[in-house]
A = this chain, B = another copy of it.
Amino acid sequence: MNRNLDIGVAGLGRMGKRHVHTLLYRTPRAKVVAVENKEYREFRIAVYSSYEEMLAHPGLNAVWISTSTDVHASQSLAAIGKGLHVLCEKPLSTDLAEVQSVIHAARANPSIKVMAGFSRRFDASYRDTSDKIFNQNAIGKPFMVRSNTCDLRDESGFFVKYAARNGGIFVDCAIHDIDLSLWFLDNPVPKACWAAGTLQHHPELQQLSDVDNAVGIVEFWGGKIAYFYCSRTQAHGHDVCTEVTGTEGKLMVNVLPRKNNVILADKLGMRHEVQPEYWERFEDAFAREANEFVDAVVNDKPVPIPLETGIKVMKIGWALQQALLTGKVSLFSESGELLDG
């Protein structure tokens, strides 16, 4: 029996190439097939000119979808339709109905593994945080989460070019922070949220009704709170920080981000460099994600993150984005349904 998994990577942008790297270098039971990339020629990977052709690759078992968000759902559905397992970059879609359609397809095909890539769930520090909260009771009852996703300012034009498809700063950028808050606050139900934003560096975003820096608060039913800061304009690097406060303590993840273990002391004082991108921060998490996904498929286990998680996260992201645009408080029912403004 072949316990290995032949995976095709869809989308060879910046992240897609990294996923190929992860599969080649760090996922021994996966075999990458069906992508085009000169750099990896010595690994003899097949080449296809369209997603559909790739899906027809002989022996293909799974796809890793790393295209732009607007085709995530349709590509996922196509793969499920062919009986292929799916690991899809978050979010499945910026449209809730589309997300729901993927969930329906997945439920209708229970032998197929479908997972949305909330990569931070695989990060060693966040897992340690979860372990300290839920297994070691290190901070008592958690009730407050602060979480940031702050990107290095992109001077290349890349970010603005693709901004139109990303659903807005809270949907695109805070989605991981929202997910972390649900994780560490033990699946609370949202009650109300509000947000404020500003445009400091990418005036092109104005016509997309978006901003490049925003803060938001989510109040949950039961006295729990999360608040977020998202930014596209940091000067110093990719700065992703999360704090969880409980009744008996606080856990802080990455409050002083650092590229490596080096400090330079010179006339300016003492300094360390910061990772430029989330890849440097989360490279190990992506490797663990790939291995756990492969393991779930090969050994027919549940995927580590249920697809439904994505729905909850998206609803909150969308409500924050709405608050940002309207200036009004977004309210939810006690079952977590967004109420009309």
Contact = CB atoms under 8 A, between A and B. Distances in A.
Which of A140, A251, A270, A291 is packed against the most chain B CB atoms within 10 Å? A270
A210 to B, nearest CB: 14
B249 A144 contact: no
Interface of A: 3, 24-29, 42-43, 124-125, 128-129, 132, 138-141, 143-144, 146, 192, 194-201, 213, 215-217, 219, 223-225, 227, 229, 231, 233-237, 239, 245, 247-274, 291, 327-329
B262 A132 contact: yes
B252 A262 contact: yes
Taking the full assembly, how many copies of this chain does it contain? 4
B247 A265 contact: no
Nearest to A331: B327
Nearest to A298: B42
Which of A225, A251, A269 is packed against the most chain B CB atoms within 10 Å? A269
A218 to B, nearest CB: 8
Given A255-B256, A269-B259, A233 B247 contact: yes
Contacts of A261: 125, 253-254, 257
Contact of A256 (B194, B270, B328): B270
Given A196-B219, A213-B144, A235 B267 contact: yes
A3 B233 CA distance: 44
A229 B225 CA distance: 11
A251 B261 CA distance: 10
A262 B251 contact: yes
B194 A329 contact: yes
B271 A270 contact: yes
Nearest to A144: B213
Given A260-B125, A262-B253, A271-B271, A223 B199 contact: yes
Nearest to A254: B261
Nearest to A291: B25
A265 B199 CA distance: 20
Contacts of A198: 143-144, 223-225
Q: Which 5 A-B pairs have the closest CB atoms?
A: A271-B271, A249-B266, A236-B265, A196-B219, A269-B273
